[in-house]
Amino acid sequence: MSTATSSRRRGTRRTRSQSSATRKVPRTYRLTPEKVTKAQRILGARTATETIETALDMVVFRRDLVRGTAAMLGVHIDPPDSSD
């Protein structure tokens, strides 16, 4: 079965150029609207989806930055306090 055929049967649209890693799927989350709005303003995002994607990208970048810095300096860096 081809990718286009299997995607259509699942009800999603996907081009041949999209890999499964970049393919978007519908999700449902229970989020505080005020927190999403505040993050949206801070990040300059146009939509809630863009806000969430940007925030997740920043989390991954922070992890990579901490790992890279620690490897370069040979020091351990504790993750930020989760109480914020």
Residue 79 domain-assigned (yes or no) = no
Which is higher by pLDDT, 47 or 19? Answer: 47
Query: Does residue 61 lie in a domain region?
Result: yes
User: 16 in a domain, yes or no?
Assistant: yes
31 located within any domain: yes
The pLDDT of residue 81 is 76
Distance CA 46, CA 64 (A): 26
Mean pLDDT for all residues in the chain: 80
Any idea of the CA torsion for 84, 38, 77, 59, to the nearest 10 degrees? Answer: 130
Say if CB 45 and CB 51 are below 8 A apart: yes
- Residue 45: how many CB atoms within 10 A of its CB? 17
pLDDT score for 21: 66
pLDDT exceeds 80 at position 36: yes
6-31 tens-digit pLDDT? 444 455 554 555 555 688 899 999 99
Asked, for residue 80, whether it belongs to a domain, the answer is no
How many structural domains does the chain have?
A: 1
Domain that holds residue 19: 3-73
In a domain, 47, yes or no: yes
Locus of tokens 């709005």: 37
pLDDT digits (tens, 9 = 90+) for 56-70: 999 999 999 988 888
Residue 81 lies in a domain: no
Alpha-carbon distance values, 60 to 19, 54, 64 (Å): 19, 10, 6
